[in-house]
Amino acid sequence: MLTIHDSEARWRTFFEETCANEISSLAASWPERISFPVDFARIQAWNVSFAELLLNNPRDTISKSNIILATICRESGYEADPRIRIIGLPPDSIRKLRDISSEEVELFITSEVIVTKISELKPRIYNGIFTCTTCGNTIEITQPNELELIEPSECPDTGGCGRRTSGGGSTRFDLRMESSTMIDNQWIEVQELPENVKPGSQPVRLSVLAEAELAGKHVPGERIRINGIPYVRTLKRGGMKTPMFDVYISLHSSERKNIPLEEIEITPSELAEIEKISQRDDLEELFLRSIAPSIIASDEKMRFIKKSLVFQLLGGVARKYPDGTRTRGDIHILLLGDPGVAKSQLLSFMGRISPRGRFTTGGGTSAAGLTAAAVRDSFNDGRFSLEAGALVLADQGLCAVDEFDKMSSEDRGAMHEAMEQQQININKGGISATMPTRCAVLAAANPKTDNGRFSPIDWSDSRTFLHNQIKLSAPLISRFDIVWMIQDMVDKGRDQRIAEHIVRVKRTGVPEHLIDSGHTVPPESLLKDHIFSTDVDGNEVLTPDFFQKYVAHAKRLFHPECDDATMEILVNHYTAKREEMAKDEYSVSLTARAIEATMRMAEARSRLFLRNHVVAEDAKEAIAMDGLWRYLAYDGNMNPQDPTGTPQKARSAEKTIGAIVRTLCRERDGECHVNEIYNSAGEQGFDEDTVDRVLQSMSNRGVLYSPRIGLWRYA
């Protein structure tokens, strides 16, 4: 049986037999290259017993490897001191953060985590050189940790004076900073992956100590695999030690996992099934049925809403350009609707099914909770450090934000940059940093009316205009590619279909108490490794796991581009709409964001069919989707390009009455009487109530003002 004492000889043999050339190359490039990465499978293939020793006694075994590595470099004529970094630990070494206990202390483990917070870099002494003040003899002492400086207790007899630091004839030692070896040191706070968090529980966090070239390598929001050694330190209270211990991880190596959807593994048989499904004639129907099957698509509007959510999961193609600019590929969707129309259920489902998805609510989330916060550094001296919020943690995934309207205006303002530029610039507490928020945003909001429901739009009543019924600003709404208006209208046939569907869904559920008590298994676990399932109506749907794999495969390998023909379709639609809107001085024309949104939807549909090029049908479907949500959101009576939500007839009244006031003011030294406005407006077919509402609306916006009762002036 191998022991620690055998490890030095084993390391030398391993290095000489398997990687002599690589070590020579490393030594020659020192100190530009500090680390020497070695795959664990390589060690295991060389000697299984030695690999087991490494897993069970990592600290001492790795320490011996660094000594031998430096010795081999010196023997080759190089003064190099590289450090071995072992990667690719075996599956039986994988631990979830919540499963790390006393049994894992001082073992070699690996875990997939999200970085949530980092401290500033600080240097610490790795090898300390001390000088005896009495005889000038130098002593080298290795410093194993960052908590205490280990100093010599006596000067050795061989080469020194033999004096101790205490007692008669004592001496003291000075630390020679210029001769000591120093390394960077950083604390990293990591959190378990969202998909590993049990329902109703908080995600587990642990502090990780990164040293040397590993310090400063990671930023909040990154997904990484940490390979490290758990260790404990006594928990102190009131300056006194207790029998309780805190667990930390000493980081040995790390592997970035931020390649999109890399964590989802697809077998060759599943890949063949994905290719087969992509050829189905009912592919779009299959996917929209698979989006929240418990929610019935009771009408065409809900069908299109589900289809848009499929497009959002697939997304468009994010691109970077030679000038350093970037355009996003993620599709942002806003659901505006009455209470009880299943908005929250849709958001919850999307947060669960989306790889790297996160679900949060606006009422319980601040701007710092969504983007990033500068918090007091709990690691050591209380300075500020960055902590990632929901949008950063959902990087390259989806963030579902319910109760979007419940956020304060300041918090919603933080969303502007995060949604369009897909990054946030943090300047807080003396910290200046940029963090990525490359995620799709799915938000839901309720009307701000007293009864909590949207009122039917009445052109003669400005209170029913869209912008007066929601608590969101036009600039923020413009960040969304699609805005769906969902109203709970009374329709006997539709209501009956919904009621029957709800009852059938309830009957298929499993009592939660039986699951918690262990008498039955969770129903979703029965679908593991399955491709298809059926909904309550007997229709075929994809299982959530396979749905994720299809999306992951499509986003990994397919990056559609537009040819000249499809580009012409999109451009002609955009320019025609711009020209149409330009004819009305009261409308707000389409911006460039509109054509970018249709391109993203066309690319997403192309990905659904596993194509690398956008065809004409994709472009036409995207244009139809864009036109439909605009028409439905404004009740068919409003200019869909006008973010104020003012109906066209109401804007026509305002335009006509405004022109009347302008003409009268010009003829009468800058002001006119309301009776004159009534008379002129009456000739155009507008009654006095309409005139009063228009005058008041223009006054509220600062266009007009009343210097005296009955008189009006332009501001």
Tokens coding 699: 């006054």
Tokens coding 567: 């580009």
DSSP for residue 563:
-
CA 556 → CA 223, 262, 313, 531, 553, distances in Å?
A: 17, 8, 13, 20, 5
Residue 356 has, within 13 A of its CA and on its CB side, a CA count of 31
Residue 454 has φ and ψ, to the nearest 5°, of -75, 135
Mean predicted lDDT score pLDDT of the chain: 80
Q: pLDDT value at position 600?
A: 92
432 forms bridges with which residues in the sheet?
427
Query: Residues of the chain with pLDDT > 70: what percent?
Result: 85
What is the bridge-based pairing of β-strands 561-562 and 613-614?
A: parallel
Whose tokens are 């070896």? That residue is 181
- Angle (CA) 542 547 548, round 5°: 160
> Which 3 state secondary structure label does DSSP give 177?
coil
Cα 698 from Cα 700, distance rounded (Å): 5
- Single out the residue of 447, 490, 452 nearest to residue 469, CA to CA: 447
671 forms bridges with which residues in the sheet?
713
Q: pLDDT value at position 633?
A: 65
Cα 222 from Cα 253, distance rounded (Å): 15
pLDDT tens-place string over residues 520-574 = 877 777 777 788 888 877 888 898 888 888 998 998 889 999 888 899 998 888 8
Q: Pick 540 or 238 by higher pLDDT.
A: 540
Cα torsion for 287, 289, 294, 296, to the nearest 10°?
A: 140
Q: pLDDT value at position 257?
A: 67
- Single out the residue of 352, 616, 299, 286 nearest to residue 485, CA to CA: 299
DSSP for residue 461:
-
Cα 73 from Cα 19, distance rounded (Å): 12
> Which 3 state secondary structure label does DSSP give 420?
helix
For the chain, domains (ranges, CATH) are: 4-87 (3.30.1640.10), 268-526 (3.40.50.300), 648-714 (1.10.10.10)
Residues 504-532 have a mean pLDDT of: 77
Cα 334 from Cα 482, distance rounded (Å): 6
85 forms bridges with which residues in the sheet?
37
pLDDT tens-place string over residues 583-624 = 554 444 567 788 888 999 999 999 999 999 999 999 999 988
> Which 3 state secondary structure label does DSSP give 40?
helix
Q: pLDDT value at position 2?
A: 65
pLDDT tens-place string over residues 9-35 = 888 888 888 888 888 888 888 877 888
pLDDT tens-place string over residues 242-280 = 888 888 888 988 887 655 566 677 888 999 999 999 999
Cα 69 from Cα 500, distance rounded (Å): 72
Per mean pLDDT, which range of 73-87, 136-150, 506-520, 591-605 is the poorest? 506-520
Q: Does residue 423 carry a pLDDT above 50?
A: yes
Q: Are 191 and 201 in contact (CB under 8 A)?
A: no
Q: pLDDT value at position 506?
A: 78
Residues 169-194 have a mean pLDDT of: 84
Q: Are 624 and 284 in contact (CB under 8 A)?
A: no
Tokens coding 107: 């073992």
